[in-house]
Amino acid sequence: MISPNLLLLLLLHLFIITSRAALPGTWELLTPNAGIASMHTAVTRFNTVVLLDRTHIGPSRKHLRPGLCRSDPQDPLLKHDCSAHSAVLDPSTGKLRPLMILTDTWCSSGQFLPDGSLLQTGGDRDGVKKIRKFIPCETTSVCDWDELEDVELAEGRWYATNQILPDGSMIIVGGRAAVSVEFFPARNGVGAVNFPFLAEAEDTQMDNLYPYVHLLPNGHLFIFANNRAVLYDYINNVILSRYAELAGGPRNYPSAGSSVMLALTGGYTAATVVVCGGAQYGAFIERSTDSPARGSCGRIEAMRPDSNWEMEDMPFGRIMGDMVMLPNGDVLIINGAEAGTQGFEMASKPCLYPLLYRPGEPVGLRFMTLNPSFVPRMYHSTANLLPDGRVLIAGSNPHYFYKFDAEFPTELRIEAFSPEYLLHEKANIRPVIVDLPEKISYGGGFDVVVAVELPVVGIVEVNLASAPFATHSFSQGQRLVKLEVSSAIPTGSGSYRIACTAPPDGRVAPPGYYMLFAVNNGVPSVAKWVKVL
């Protein structure tokens, strides 16, 4: 006979499992041991994923290729290191190939260039002024990091943010003790340019690091640090306007909120920025691991200088959450904790429940709680959109070294989260891209041909999604551009032709490679890569 207490436990366990199963979204394990806890993650145009940790922390759990080792007499732990601190993952097979990184990439920044190469800048120790490049290749080829020797940053950059610009160059904003910006390549031989706003946004626990940088369709930058934001003319180094302060305390590192610019659409005359979550001020200074995280979000029309923040609350307080633009324009908020702050062993109460933010709904109805993970993703975790519509979840190492016997151990597993739009019952409305050009030119017209099992009802969207550099709760360079399209015209055998207009210029979509998705009633196709130029 079952005791009452045991029966209660069984019923509670069944209730939890049923509750989890009833929530939207599914999880899968891509690899049980990547060998590397990915602090920085980026998806390449070859559908591979670059994983990047840091050096100077002792060995990882992934060996370099035979005959390769990193020798550094200044390394405080391991002078001769034959373990990898970067790797490239094929998410379709789970196969990993180690990459060779020489200098310390701890808390560095990055962004893809127009040619598809990943430019990676700064870090700690010997990496603070370093510029590195990774030119991705097919999975059957061998490509690796190139640490540039003929150029370096003008100023050391640690906790900086990179953003590709309309002309294909890159701006690098801020960093610890760096109240300046600079460009790659350097402009007219000028190095760092003073940017006093970052000094204004600094407080006693910093809170101005990894600033949120969004390129607006008017060509200016929306830059947010701490609890304030400015509209910045980077060409003339002029602050054009200052926005109202966002209520609810600091939002940047180490207070660890997140930010996203919502999908650009229509005539691209508006841009909406959302900032969510963050720690209580003082949690970092006091090392308060149980200080409740903030659950508030602010939303602002960034191209209206007189606009104010519209406030709303998430179902959970959250620090270190990642905001991922989904192909249909919704936003996934995932990873993080409900208490503490960013920093080594300074957070608790992992927030296992993802949220779906639906921008088109009214305040109070925008958030949907999704199916939770069983894997805590704390400090140094990442989230990236994959071309098949899933979201890759990697990393989490809240310790200075790799540590596997802690309450929240170093995490080497890599997972994928599938939003509700990938449910099996929606497969008959999921479009398949049959034909599209490899390149599209600004302002030009082009056709996309899709196949759908059920007849198309309404407009099939064609959307461009960038491949950002995800690190420390912010995806640098993330954007989604909804193209102007015609109604889908049947061509026979379940295929449809959609006439599309490319973005007007680099202010809307900087030059480079994008994932092109066809979206039918909110359900995205598997993306094809196109080059916008």
CA quadruple 507, 510, 511, 514: dihedral sign: negative
Q: Is residue 52 part of a domain?
A: no
DSSP 487: P
Q: Which residues sit opposite 183 in a β-bridge?
A: 171
Q: What is residue 306's predicted lDDT score, i.e. its pLDDT?
A: 87
Q: What is residue 189's predicted lDDT score, i.e. its pLDDT?
A: 86
Q: Is residue 235 part of a domain?
A: no
Give the number of other CB atoms < 10 A from CB of residue 167.
12
Q: Which domain holds residue 506?
A: 425-532
- Cβ atoms of 394 and 38 within 8 Å: the answer is yes
How many structural domains does the chain have?
1
pLDDT tens digits, one per residue of 410-446:
999 999 999 999 998 899 999 999 999 999 999 999 9
Q: What is the pTM of this model?
A: 0.95
Q: Is residue 452 part of a domain?
A: yes
- Cβ atoms of 224 and 259 within 8 Å: the answer is yes
In this predicted model, which residue has the larger pLDDT, 13 or 498? 498
Q: What is the CA radius of gyration of the chain?
A: 22
For residues 206 and 294, give the distance between their C-alpha atoms in angstroms, rounded to a whole number: 18
Q: Is residue 485 part of a domain?
A: yes
Q: What pLDDT band is residue 144 in, cutting at 50, 70 and 90?
A: very high
- pLDDT of 12 over the 60 cut: no
DSSP 427: G
- pLDDT of 1 over the 50 cut: no
The arithmetic mean of pLDDT across residues 171-198, rounded, is 96
Q: What is residue 4's predicted lDDT score, i.e. its pLDDT?
A: 40
Percent of the chain topping pLDDT 90: 92
**Residues present in the chain in total:** 533
Residue 267 exposure: Cα atoms within 13 Å on the Cβ side: 1
Q: What pLDDT band is residue 305 in, cutting at 50, 70 and 90?
A: confident
Q: What pLDDT band is residue 14 in, cutting at 50, 70 and 90?
A: very low
- Cβ atoms of 483 and 464 within 8 Å: the answer is yes
CATH of the domain at 514: 2.60.40.10
In this predicted model, which residue has the larger pLDDT, 87 or 22? 87
Cβ partners under 8 Å of residue 405, min gap 6: none
Q: How many Å is the maximal CA-CA distance in the chain?
A: 83
- pLDDT of 288 over the 70 cut: yes
The arithmetic mean of pLDDT across residues 337-345, rounded, is 97
The arithmetic mean of pLDDT across residues 166-183, rounded, is 97
DSSP class per residue in 442-473: TT-EEEEEEE-SSPP-SPEEEEEE---EEETT
Q: Is residue 434 part of a domain?
A: yes
- pLDDT of 178 over the 60 cut: yes
pLDDT tens digits, one per residue of 95-121:
999 999 999 999 999 999 999 999 999
Query: Of the given ranges (14-18, 177-181, 229-233, 390-394), which has the lowest mean pLDDT?
Result: 14-18
Q: What is residue 16's predicted lDDT score, i.e. its pLDDT?
A: 40
- Cβ atoms of 300 and 311 within 8 Å: the answer is no
Q: What pLDDT band is residue 8 in, cutting at 50, 70 and 90?
A: very low
- pLDDT of 487 over the 60 cut: yes
The two structure tokens encoding residue 236 = 């003339």
Q: What pLDDT band is residue 477 in, cutting at 50, 70 and 90?
A: very high
Q: Cα separations (Å) of 83 from 36, 66, 70, 181, 394?
A: 10, 10, 8, 34, 19
Q: Is residue 479 part of a domain?
A: yes
For residues 489 and 166, give the distance between their C-alpha atoms in angstroms, rounded to a whole number: 33
pLDDT tens digits, one per residue of 203-221:
999 999 999 999 999 999 9
Q: What is residue 21's predicted lDDT score, i.e. its pLDDT?
A: 57
Percent of the chain topping pLDDT 70: 96
Cβ partners under 8 Å of residue 13, min gap 6: none
Cβ partners under 8 Å of residue 401, min gap 6: 57, 58
pLDDT tens digits, one per residue of 52-94:
999 999 999 999 999 999 999 988 889 999 999 999 999 999 9
The arithmetic mean of pLDDT across residues 283-303, rounded, is 97
- pLDDT of 2 over the 60 cut: no
Terminal Cα-to-Cα distance of the chain (whole angstroms): 72
Q: Is residue 387 part of a domain?
A: no
The arithmetic mean of pLDDT across residues 17-22, rounded, is 55
Q: Is residue 454 part of a domain?
A: yes
For residues 243 and 15, give the distance between their C-alpha atoms in angstroms, rounded to a whole number: 46
| Chain centroid offset of residue 345 CA | 22
Q: What pLDDT band is residue 20 in, cutting at 50, 70 and 90?
A: low
Q: What pLDDT band is residue 9 in, cutting at 50, 70 and 90?
A: very low
- Cβ atoms of 335 and 326 within 8 Å: the answer is no
Q: What is the bridge-based pairing of β-strands 40-43 and 469-471?
A: antiparallel
